[in-house]
Chains A and B, each alone.
Chain A
Amino acid sequence: MAKLILSMDGLVLKEINLTKERTTIGRKPHNDIQIDNLAVSGEHAVIVTILQDSFLEDLGSTNGTVVNSQPIKKHFLQNSDIIELGKYKLKYVNEAPAGQAKAADFEKTMVLRPGTLRPAPAAPAAAAPSSAPTTAAPTPAAAVTRNLADTVAGQSATAQPTAQPTAAPKLATAPQRNAALQLLSGPNAGKELDLTKPLTTLGKPGVQVAVITRRPQGFFITHVEGASFPVVNGKALDAQAHALNDHDVIELAGIKMEFFFKT
């Protein structure tokens, strides 16, 4: 159940549960949330709630509606958003159920029976969220699926710009260490390859390929294809993933490289 916490000058005035499909906000008495202040219009704004989601819409008020210091017309409310109307603040609270007991229910798929959702009279049209979403902003990092042997010939690697995953991780992952490879032999000896992507391939397709995966637990090298396995610190690996340690020396497809953490 989502709710709003109404306050002014830091003093909490009341809490309002968002139980209705439409929760109106304004100075006139018929509003669900009546704010008796001249800076607030008669019909100032409305919050449309569809199950667990709520959308705030300004109803053409004189002084406008602000969310997290940005003026908005329509806004998809996120937990902890602060709505400002005149001197009043409304904090939107919609937390995931706390406690391990509910965690298993959180991602449960459920069937929505027809008629469960009564059609909202005037659902807000799709509007880009005016405040930046709380998850990581997409930073286009060049995804390097680099084939080291091929870079020798000057062919361009297949680089796909990919955005950081904005959807999936809802939990805060521990800050990961950055790591890179330094080429020790071959035509590109001395060059560094940052291991920024979840997967970085090494080697020559059709001959010998290994992949370095970047995981919360660290970096791992795994054999992908080829008759022989990668060699780490002089020993050939088996088919299993192998955790990489600082300054491990990897040998693959005739090229030597050193794995190291960047601190």
Chain B
Amino acid sequence: MTLSGTLEVASCTDPGMVRSHNEDSIASDGDKGLVVLADGMGGYNAGEVASGMATTVIITELQQLLEKKVPYEIDAQSGQVVAHQMLHEQIAKANTSIYQAAQSQPQYAGMGTTLVVALFYDNKVTVAHIGDSRLYRLRGEEFKQVTKDHSLLQEQIDSGVITPQQARLSQNKNLVTRALGIDAVVEAEIHDYDTQPGDIYLLCSDGLCDMVSDDDIGLALQTLSSNLKLCAQHLVQTANDNGGRDNVSVILVRVLRDYPAPRGIVGKMKSWFR
């Protein structure tokens, strides 16, 4: 099954203006409808190892699984949608790899990474995330943050301790409450969203949203939507112009047309010929 011609993908990653290493990692496979972004953390350059492991495991395993399995079907054994099952399993696999490496190598001790994965199929997108890397959506004139950060600030906002305005002034930024590779077991947050042709999805590390306001990000997506590559470069450039205090990565995905799953005998036969 291929989504060739359905999605336009552009991405950009940069170490920023302050850090010497880039510990963000990004990967995409537009034909399979798959994009991944990870922001690593850890002493020395262990963050680079953690985020690299996360994106490599997720993209290679899911690429192979998508050759054989159909994401929108229900798995007979577990009763789960195949897309969810694949994501749960491969995220767990990535977590174990990173956790074990961190346990066995002293220079990797304590390393971890955030993760955002988006899998497009059947006119929808399944989004899995852990940590404070985000997914936003631009639909028409509406630009909004889709994922909710797993962070101290977000928990404070949710429990009414602080307001979103106060969170912007907080000195407790960048404290995530969930990450890959830190514990033997981790739970990703997974949701499905319907997509429409014209939608633009943005995956980004906090190096973008900490340096650039949501309003300016939305303006860039709206203004430069006809040139996604330029848009991705502009977002990174703006983060750097504003200080670039962290690695910054963006992946942009635009939905070009409908992509309903083939259903029924005729539909399935048609899909064999794609």
Known pairs A162-B215, A169-B243, A224-B227; A111 contacts B168 (CB<8 A): no
Q: Which residues of B contact A205 (CB under 8 A)?
A: 226
In the complex, whether A263 has a CB less than 8 A from a CB of chain B is: no
> Which of B39, B112, B151, B211 has its CB near the most chain A CB atoms (within 10 A)?
B211
Whether B223 and A109, one on each chain, are in contact in the complex, defined by CB atoms closer than 8 angstroms, is no
Q: Chain A, interface size: which category? A: 35 or more
Whether B39 and A201, one on each chain, are in contact in the complex, defined by CB atoms closer than 8 angstroms, is no
**Residue from the list A104, A123, A160, A209 in contact with B19, Cβ < 8 A:** A104
A215 to chain B: closest residue by CB: B241
Contact with A along B213-232 (1 / 0, CB 8 A): 10110111011101100100
Whether B169 and A76, one on each chain, are in contact in the complex, defined by CB atoms closer than 8 angstroms, is yes
A143 to chain B: closest residue by CB: B219
**Residue from the list B162, B163, B168, B177 in contact with A167, Cβ < 8 A:** B168
- Separation in Å of the B94 CB from the closest CB of chain A? 16
> Which of A109, A199, A216 has its CB near the most chain B CB atoms (within 10 A)?
A109
- Separation in Å of the A101 CB from the closest CB of chain B? 11
- Separation in Å of the B245 CB from the closest CB of chain A? 4
Whether B226 and A51, one on each chain, are in contact in the complex, defined by CB atoms closer than 8 angstroms, is no
**Residue from the list B156, B175, B227, B243 in contact with A170, Cβ < 8 A:** B243
Whether B165 and A53, one on each chain, are in contact in the complex, defined by CB atoms closer than 8 angstroms, is no
Whether A111 and B141, one on each chain, are in contact in the complex, defined by CB atoms closer than 8 angstroms, is no
Count A/B pairs, Cβ under 8 Å: 155
CA separation between A114 and B172, bound complex, in Å?
16
Interface with B: A30-38, A127-135, A178-186, which one? A127-135
B175 to chain A: closest residue by CB: A112
Whether B177 and A109, one on each chain, are in contact in the complex, defined by CB atoms closer than 8 angstroms, is no
Known pairs A109-B114, A111-B41, A145-B223; A165 contacts B215 (CB<8 A): yes
Q: Which residues of A contact B141 (CB under 8 A)?
A: 158, 160
Chain B contact residue count (CB 8 A cutoff): 57
CA separation between A170 and B227, bound complex, in Å?
30
Q: Which residues of A contact B171 (CB under 8 A)?
A: 51-53, 94, 96
- Separation in Å of the B160 CB from the closest CB of chain A? 5
CA separation between A231 and B173, bound complex, in Å?
45
Whether B223 and A168, one on each chain, are in contact in the complex, defined by CB atoms closer than 8 angstroms, is no
Q: Which residues of B contact A213 (CB under 8 A)?
A: 234
CA separation between A52 and B175, bound complex, in Å?
11
Known pairs A53-B171, A106-B245, A109-B174; A165 contacts B224 (CB<8 A): no
Contact with B along A213-244 (1 / 0, CB 8 A): 10111000010110000000000000000000
- Separation in Å of the B8 CB from the closest CB of chain A? 13
Q: Which residues of B contact A143 (CB under 8 A)?
A: 219
**Residue from the list B152, B161, B212 in contact with A165, Cβ < 8 A:** B212
Whether B213 and A167, one on each chain, are in contact in the complex, defined by CB atoms closer than 8 angstroms, is yes
Whether A107 and B245, one on each chain, are in contact in the complex, defined by CB atoms closer than 8 angstroms, is yes
Whether A76 and B166, one on each chain, are in contact in the complex, defined by CB atoms closer than 8 angstroms, is yes
Whether A111 and B112, one on each chain, are in contact in the complex, defined by CB atoms closer than 8 angstroms, is yes
Q: Which residues of B contact A169 (CB under 8 A)?
A: 211, 242-243
A145 to chain B: closest residue by CB: B223
Whether A51 and B160, one on each chain, are in contact in the complex, defined by CB atoms closer than 8 angstroms, is no
Q: Which residues of B contact A133 (CB under 8 A)?
A: 165, 169
Q: Which residues of B contact A96 (CB under 8 A)?
A: 171
Q: Which residues of A contact B207 (CB under 8 A)?
A: 107
Whether B210 and A107, one on each chain, are in contact in the complex, defined by CB atoms closer than 8 angstroms, is yes
**Residue from the list B224, B242, B245 in contact with A103, Cβ < 8 A:** B245
- Separation in Å of the B99 CB from the closest CB of chain A? 12
In the complex, whether B246 has a CB less than 8 A from a CB of chain A is: yes
**Residue from the list B161, B213, B219 in contact with A168, Cβ < 8 A:** B213
Contact with A along B42-63 (1 / 0, CB 8 A): 0000000000000000000000
CA separation between A211 and B246, bound complex, in Å?
26
Q: Which residues of B contact A3 (CB under 8 A)?
A: none
- Separation in Å of the B72 CB from the closest CB of chain A? 34
In the complex, whether A108 has a CB less than 8 A from a CB of chain B is: yes
Q: Give 9 closest A-B pairs by Cβ, nearest first.
A: A52-B171, A165-B213, A167-B168, A107-B246, A107-B245, A162-B215, A109-B174, A225-B226, A112-B175
21 A/B residue pairs, CB under 8 Å, sorted by A: A51-B171, A51-B172, A52-B171, A78-B169, A104-B19, A107-B173, A107-B174, A107-B245, A109-B175, A111-B182, A123-B161, A125-B161, A126-B160, A126-B162, A158-B141, A160-B222, A168-B210, A168-B211, A198-B216, A205-B226, A224-B227
Given contacts A166-B168, A201-B223, list 5 more A-B pairs with CB under 8 A. Answer: A51-B171, A96-B171, A103-B18, A112-B151, A168-B242
A binding-site residues for B, Cβ under 8 Å = 50-53, 76, 78, 94, 96, 103-104, 106-114, 117, 123-129, 133, 135, 143, 145, 158, 160, 162-163, 165-171, 173, 197-199, 201, 205, 209, 211, 213, 215-217, 222, 224-225
